[in-house]
Structure 1
Amino acid sequence: MRVLSMLGMALACGATTLGAQRSHRIELGGFGTYTRYDPIFGLERQFGGGGRLGFFLTNNIGLEVDGSVTKAAPTAGGPTTQVRFGSVSLVLSTGGTYLLGGYSRLEMGVNPPYNFSLNAVHGGLGQRLFLTDRVALRIEARAYYPPNNPYFAGKKSLDATASAGLSVFLLGGGPHEAAPRPLPPAQRESVVVAAGRPPAPAVAPTPTPAFAPAPAPALAPAPTPAVERRTPAVHFVGEGGHADQFEFGAFGSYTRYDRAYNLKNQVGGGGRLALFISDKVSIEVEGGFQRPTQKLGTLSPQLVLGSVSLVFNAPAGRNLFYLLGGYTRFTFRDTLPPYDFTDNALHGAIGDRFFLTDHLALRVEGRAVWSPTTNLPGGKLGGQIIGTAGLSYFTAKGRLAQARAIGWQHQWFWGGQGGVLIYKTNRQPLTYDPIIGGHWLITGKRTALYTSFEQAFFVSPVLADVAIPNTDFVGTFSFSNVRRIMGGILAFPTQQRIQPVTGGGFALMQILTPELQGCSGCVTKADTVAAFDAADANASKAFFWVMGGVDIRQGRLSIFGHYIITSSAKGFLLQGPTHTLQGGVRYSLGTAKEEVTQEH
């Protein structure tokens, strides 16, 4: 019993001590699950499994993605259905205990009656028990709730899952190093004794001659080369920093609605409230109101928006740049269709706060809101772009202080970006749609190797005509997805915290799954096959690209915005050059240069 008690104390201490220094760590884990499905689905409780990937922004805050799969059997009998859950979560940890919440996508299966998907919110409570400094046993209870369930007569559902598994922590504890071990009692008498040298005896000061020559001045240390110098990073630390203070704000907005909504661009307004968890991370809620009018028609519905966001801040001088993302719920309030529905959406934004005084800042922002599914009659996806400008008030005084930033050279950066792809086809004029992706950056001294993978999701399918070789026939195709892979060299000429970036390289763009909508002149099956062959031949092309933008560094984190233009290609389904406006964030995972040492 005594051994068990000591083991329990060791695990508890491990959950507190080993788990305390987690900033900038990556968590990889696998787990088993046991799920209780809501009775409306008619599915038996079932075991399953999954995996997770998490990243700790601070010792107490992390971001996490996870996925799981089960093969559930209907309670009434019959074939099983494969149920897949995918989630994105914000995790708040204290010691080994944590609380999480976020967005989930529930894929209930592929065969009727389970061939549907649900968008849900989830919340969970769990515990990490550290077995070593890098391995922990993790147990969790989680609930999923879809706000809108158009299936099973619209009844609400609530699913619950318990999970247990192992997590491995990588990359060490970041800048928050563990406290040094205390000195042994025999070495605590003085710092000199602890260093291994006995204290020197007291010596009377030697009198200085009256006409002694002045001592030679000490040589100044050699200056550090500019490209190798660690530059100070500026951040606001008034009253202990932005941490634990509030931001109140009001703003005006201007919205470009999705084409499927048949609404004119509209001016509106709203307000926001934010809490800074640290100097660089805050949580924000906001609400907005608009009253747009139809392009064709007389309806003028009310639109109410509510959002919850996680905000990453990067101070620079009197500016506080930021990047945010989160969940939006917007409701069209009208008694007449089609504007009597509610949508759940994801959003991302980039913006800046310019401080006019110690407490007051002008805030401007560009935001994209995307609904994976929309309840608009006849609609599939929904996308809005919103620009805002307003004033924010901070409850604590902001003043500037200096903090050390990591060296930029010879680093591995991983990041993500999102924005809009601007394009046209031979059937449609210039338009824009959302594009998201990830990238890999390896820095040298003033240049960097850049590789990215991106995909554009068109809010509405686009049309393009394809000429069929050796005939007078023309096939009309529709498509909704474009994939782009890029590689090239970027230059960072100034080596400052806020620095311009430019570069270029090669790209491969691919139109995914073009679908034939019509073929003028096609009569036989061979004509249709020839139309598909022509579309496939024109769906993938190689391009040159050029980039220009700005990069803002804050320690290991960089926030950036850029513009990309690609060359045109003959016969490609997207006509002429394409243009991309993007913002994103990248994070250094460590040095990309191995030091060579020699022993003599």
Structure 2
Amino acid sequence: MRMVIRSFSAAVLALCAGVAQSQAQQHAGSGTFQWYVGGHGGVMSFRTAVQGRELMPVAGGQILITAKRTGLMLSVDQGFGSDEPTATLFTIRDSTGVASEPSAMGWTFQGFRKYSAMLMAFPVRNPNVQPFLGLGGGILHTTGNSGGPFADGHVESHLSSSAFLSAAGGLEFRVGPLGAFGMYQITTKQGFKQVETVLQRDQSGKAVTTRSDYGEWTRGATHTVTAGLRIGLGSAREDVRAGGY
């Protein structure tokens, strides 16, 4: 009789362990309430004031936190270019408010850096194939800008950076904790920007001569197509379990 009880107890324990393992595997593969980190690479399409639409290679990383059918994605992209040209205008204004004729100021830059935060939606609940959509925004600026008219670089720094709104869509193939994805992202255009710099003040501190730099560093929307891999780091929430001492 004791042998039967031991055998029955062992069978119950084995069954419970098997159920727990099955539930854990199902939860890990579902993609819900999970942390993911990943890397990606692709191309960005952009246009400046002096050249048509160009392509630039990009690479970056991202963090994705998923719930049941929604998520939050934080990403950074770095574009790698070479002496990409652009141009803006500037005028000099005297104390009477009379401005000089606009003159062109040429610039070059070596790349882009884009920071994005997006709310994601996963409309189809499938453990292996998931289309996704995203809406959000971020900050885009160029890197390696050529020197401007002032040593502190405030003119080119201001003209070359902007906030944007963004939309994205793509498809992910997931096997266990690993996922391979492709994504398209579009951002709104930079728009017109202007920087005012005081060149000379009188004894009372009033501006006598000012310089105004203005224009569009880039024109139109940017388009980015990337592909990459994500790996799951585990649950994004703590499960509540009933129990006692």
TM-score (norm 2): 0.73
Query: Which residue of structure 2 aligns with residue 500 of structure 1?
Result: 131
Say which of 111, 115, 118 aligns to 1:481: 111
CA distance in 2, matches of 1:194, 1:423: 70
1:183-222 aligned at under 5 Å gives the runs 192-193=5-6
For the residues of structure 1 that align with 2:141 and 2:161, how far apart are their CA atoms? Answer: 4
Partner of 1:512: 143
For residue 468 of structure 1, give the secondary structure of its aligned residue in structure 2: strand
Residue 570 of structure 1: SS of its match in structure 2?
A: coil
What is the one-letter code of the residue matched to 1:421?
Answer: M
Counterpart-to-counterpart distance in 1, 2:90 and 2:64: 41
- Structure 1 residue 533, shift from structure 2 partner: 3.9
Amino acid at match of 1:465: A
One of 48, 51, 69 as aligned partner of 1:428: 51
Q: Number of aligned pairs?
A: 198
| Preserved contact between residue 33 and residue 237 of structure 2 (Cα < 8 Å) | yes
Q: Give the Cα–Cα distance (whole angstroms) in 2 for the partners of residues 577 and 191 of structure 1.
A: 74
Tell me how far apart the structure 2 counterparts of residues 494 and 230 of structure 1 sit (CA, whole Å).
17
Cα separation, 2, equivalents of 1:563 and 1:464: 25
1:562 aligns with 2:183: yes
Runs (4+) off by over 6 Å: none
Selected match of 2:171 from 550, 553, 556: 550
Contact 1:475-1:516 at 8 Å conserved across structures: no
Shift, 1:455, TM fit: 0.5
TM-score, structure 1 normalization: 0.31
Equivalent residue for 1:490?
Answer: 120
Q: Give me the whole-angstrom Cα distance separating, in 2, the residues matched to 1:191 and 1:415.
A: 52
- Give SS of 2:133's match: strand
Structure-2 separation of matches of 1:468 and 1:191? 93
Paired with 2:77 and 2:154, the residues of 1 have a C-alpha distance of 25
Matched, 1:462 2:48: no
**What's the CA shift string for 1:145-174, capped at 9, x where partnerless?**
xxxxxxxxxxxxxxxxxxxxxxxxxxxxxx
Q: Which runs of 5+ in 2 are unaligned?
A: 11-24, 93-99, 193-215
Give the CA RMSD over aligned residues: 2.7
Q: Contact conserved, 1:466 with 1:535, CA < 8 A, in 2?
A: no
CA change 1:483–1:190 in 2 (3 A) is: farther
Which position in structure 2 is the counterpart of 1:589? 233
User: What's the offset of the Cα at 1:529?
Assistant: 2.4
The answer to whether 1:449 aligns with 2:72 is: yes
Distance 2:217 2:178 in 1: 37
CA separation in 2, counterparts of 1:588 and 1:513? 34
Stretches of structure 1 that go unaligned for 5 or more consecutive residues are: 1-188, 198-228, 232-404, 518-527
SS at match of 2:29: coil
Write out per-residue CA displacement over residues 85-118 of structure 1, whole angstroms, 9 at most, x where no aligned residue: xxxxxxxxxxxxxxxxxxxxxxxxxxxxxxxxxx
- Alignment-mate amino acid for residue 110 of structure 2: S
CA distance in 2, matches of 1:599, 1:584: 41
The 3-state SS of whatever aligns with 1:529 is coil
State the Cα distance separating 1:504 from its structure 2 match.
1.1
**Higher RCO (Cα < 8 Å, 6 or more apart):** 2
Counterpart of 1:569 in 2: which secondary structure? Answer: coil
Q: Deviations over 1:310-337 (max 9, x none)?
A: xxxxxxxxxxxxxxxxxxxxxxxxxxxx
Q: What amino acid is aligned across from residue 63 of structure 2 in structure 1? A: W
- CA drift of 1:477 comes to 0.6
The worse-fitting range, judged by mean Cα deviation, of 576-585 and 528-537 is 528-537
Give runs of aligned pairs for residues 272-291 of structure 1, distance below 5 A: none
Partner amino acid for 1:193?
R
Q: Which amino acid aligns with 1:483?
A: R
Using the TM superposition, give the Cα deviation of residue 598 of structure 1 relative to its aligned residue in structure 2, in angstroms. 4.8
Q: Distance in 2 between matches of 1:590 and 1:190?
A: 41
Give the drift of 1:530: 9.4
Q: Secondary structure at the match of 1:536?
A: helix
- The residue type paired with residue 60 of structure 2 is G
Q: 1:537 is aligned with what amino acid? A: H
CA apart distance, 1:191: 7.8
* 1:120-140 residue CA offsets vs partner (Å, 9 max, x unmatched): xxxxxxxxxxxxxxxxxxxxx
Distance 2:223 2:91 in 1: 29
Quick check: which one's helix share is greater? Answer: 2
CA contact (8 A) 2:139 2:164 kept: yes
Q: CA deviation at 1:499?
A: 2.1
Q: Percent identity?
A: 30
Please report how far the alpha carbon of residue 491 of structure 1 lies from its aligned counterpart in structure 2 after TM superposition: 0.6
Q: Distance in 2 between matches of 1:498 and 1:468?
A: 52
The DSSP-based 3-state class of the residue aligned with 1:506 is strand
Given that 2:190 and 2:217 are in contact with CA atoms closer than 8 Å, whether structure 1 keeps it comes out as: no
Partner amino acid, structure 1, of 2:190: A
What letter matches 2:6 in structure 1?
V
Cα deviation code 1:24-48 (max 9, x no counterpart):
xxxxxxxxxxxxxxxxxxxxxxxxx
Deviations, residues 521-577 of structure 1 (Å, cap 9, x unaligned): xxxxxxx22995432221110000100111111111111001110001213422110
